[in-house]
């Protein structure tokens, strides 16, 4: 039996990918739970996940390979997502949305970290 190729992804990476998924979901109405997983998605969920992948790429400076692994996909899928999202920035409404979400993500991740007592 051939084992599937897996790259370890940290919990922090999955948290950041989840942050992007939830922020996109909140602004587009796409359900974050429907954007996860490796199975074929409906077009709305697929495009919303592509936006989240693009946001992780530009906001965190992740490579396409890193983005793909954090979302449980491959580098080629991440590249397709980022090319599509970049093309969508030609639409003023989409450009405004992505600019706003990038700023929100940066505000969340660059803020002071607060440890929660156990």
Tens-of-pLDDT digits for all 118 residues of the chain? Answer: 666 656 678 989 999 999 999 999 999 999 888 887 666 788 888 999 999 999 999 999 999 999 999 998 889 999 999 999 999 999 999 999 999 999 999 999 888 888 888 7
Tokens for 71, please give them.
């979302």
Structural class in CATH, domain 11-107: mainly alpha
Contact (CB, 8 A) for 54 and 98? yes
Tokens for 70, please give them.
């954090």
Given CA atoms 53, 30, 100, 95 in this order, what sign does their dihedral have?
A: positive
Nearest CA-CA partner of 84 in 70, 98, 100: 98
- Determine the pLDDT at residue 7: 66
* Secondary structure letter of residue 89 according to DSSP: T
Distance CA(101)–CA(58), nearest Å, equals 11
């Amino acid at each position: 039996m051939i084992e599937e190729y897996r790259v370890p992804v940290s919990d922090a990476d999955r948290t950041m990918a989840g942050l992007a998924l939830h922020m996109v979901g909140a602004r587009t109405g796409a359900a974050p739970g429907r954007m996860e997983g490796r199975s074929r998605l409906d077009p709305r969920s697929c495009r919303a996940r592509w936006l989240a992948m693009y946001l992780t790429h530009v906001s965190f400076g992740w490579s396409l390979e890193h983005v793909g692994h954090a979302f449980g996909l491959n580098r080629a899928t991440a590249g397709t997502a980022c090319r599509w999202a970049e093309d969508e920035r030609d639409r003023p409404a989409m450009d405004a949305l992505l600019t706003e979400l990038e700023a929100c993500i940066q505000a969340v991740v660059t803020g002071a970290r607060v440890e929660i007592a156990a």
